[in-house]
Amino acid sequence: MLAPSSPLPTVDTGLSWSNSFAALGPAFHTCLPPRPLPAPCHVASSPAVAQQLGLPAAWLQSDEALRLFSGNALPLGGEPLASVYSGHQFGVWAGQLGDGRALLLGEVQTAHGPQEIQLKGSGLTPYSRMGDGRAVLRSSIREFLCSEAMHALGIPTTRALYLCGSPEPVQRETVETAAVVTRVAPSFIRFGHFEHFAARGQFDELRQLADYVIARFYPECADGADCGGHAGNRYAALLQAVSERSAALVAQWQAVGFCHGVLNTDNMSILGLTIDYGPFQFLDHFDPGHICNHSDRQGRYAYEQQPGVVLWNLYRLGQALQPLIGDPAIAMGALESYRTPYPQHFMQRMRAKLGLGAAHAGDSAVIDGILHLLADHAVDYPIFWRRLSHAVADANFEPVRDLFADRARLDRWLLLFKEHAALAGKAPDADLMLKNNPAIVLRNHLAEQAIRAAQQGDFSELHTLQHLLQRPCEEHPGHEARTGFPPDWAAHLSISCSS
């Protein structure tokens, strides 16, 4: 059954709802209500996202909010729908996919522009394929926490407004309980939306979708000239703009040590947002070949592969837009806006982590040198950068040296680092380093501890983590267990695509 047999009640949120995506027409979606979550309970919510939407934070604690965000009611003026898309999964064309467990409730106008509000885990849709349309508490906690943690780190991302749970059993590797997370973003359109219509030869719909995205999110690309210099070719300009945003995004991932885990084309945002938090992980020890998704047996989405995979996905987007762009050479030229900016963005991020200012000759030797050292010694990535920041601030490098078995090799790099900064004419900026090297990130073991407690009905650890992750670059006295080294058992955690 795809929908409840009786109409759902409505909730007046006080917001003005619309749905511009629905106006694209039935080729793009199926309208249907959510499937109510039985016996829902409030697990967590984000006052910051509520404020962005114009919702009172206190309202999130109300019964009305629980009914709405558990799928037991609809927003007054909303028009819920599931969108259709296709995509490549693990490098293989998977055909039609779509919102198999998500429903777009609609969009609301905010001071930051229109924001779409989507339920994830809200039941079966025509695109559920063999799935059950549900999400489980485990993965929903991870998505809720990581969405807000990434935002606090300054990394473009979808946001998480609300998380509710239910005793409803859901079968994954074991029997778990259901949950619904409410996600917020300007748009949830993916590369796969374009692939869907291109693969079917539905070029009118493909053009309609591209024009919609340009008008709403890339108006500078409307005539092509102001967006990459593609005069008269708005679709090449769009491809270039998306490539540029994607380059900046993946550079931020690499710098902070974030592994997405499942970078399929249907998990790539057309807006350059981090989307679809599944088997993600922040690195513990630095291992360029680290695979965070145990379903990724070939290592396609390993940490060091992410920049190349994102470019591969952009080529698939370019292929989908080819019927609109025309000349293949123009499309290839637009994709160069990833190849060139990515290393520039990455170097900029790494210079900030080292407290360095403008680019100087020799930056690469310093950055490559420390990354090789971290990999060879399997050094904890977040702790190294935070200790280095304090070492520069306090002129005491012993805590950094304690991380390395080969101290002499580290000392040679430290000398190179100091000499390079001196040649650049300025000592490393400790304040810049402390702002770019977080004291806390959402490591797997921290999420796991919150999940295990939540599965027993205790949400206090989740709320503590949420509070700490909102201020990732501040010190957190009394929380050394959360900002220190991971416990030994964390190395055995295994995260899969199942959710």
What amino acid positions are annotated as catalytic residues?
A: 266
Strands 74-75 and 10-11, by their bridges, are parallel
Q: What backbone phi and psi angles, to 5 degrees, belong to 199?
A: -65, -30
Q: Give strand pairing partners of 274.
A: 157
CB atoms within 10 A of CB 344: 13
In eight-state DSSP terms, residue 62 is S
- Cα–Cα distance between 253 and 256 in angstroms, integer? 5
CA angle 180, 300, 262 (to 5 degrees): 10
Inter-CA distances, 245 with 8, 252, 261, 356, Å: 39, 11, 19, 24
- Cα–Cα distance between 276 and 383 in angstroms, integer? 27
CA angle 387, 258, 438 (to 5 degrees): 30
Q: Give strand pairing partners of 10.
A: 74
Query: Cβ-count burial of 372 within 10 angstroms (0-12 exposed, 13-18 middle, 19+ buried)?
Result: middle
**Helix (H), strand (E) counts: the chain:** 17, 15
Sign of CA dihedral 478, 479, 483, 484: positive
144 CB-near residues (< 8 Å, 6+ apart) = 43, 44, 160, 163, 181, 466
- Cα–Cα distance between 483 and 147 in angstroms, integer? 19
Q: What backbone phi and psi angles, to 5 degrees, belong to 318?
A: -60, -40
Q: Which of 263, 251, 235 is closest to 319 using CA atoms?
A: 235
CB atoms within 10 A of CB 194: 30
CB atoms within 10 A of CB 304: 14
- Cα–Cα distance between 215 and 208 in angstroms, integer? 11
Q: Which of 288, 282, 293 is closest to 303 using CA atoms?
A: 288
In eight-state DSSP terms, residue 153 is T
- Residues 82 and 72: beta-carbon distance below 8 Å: no
- Cα–Cα distance between 110 and 18 in angstroms, integer? 12
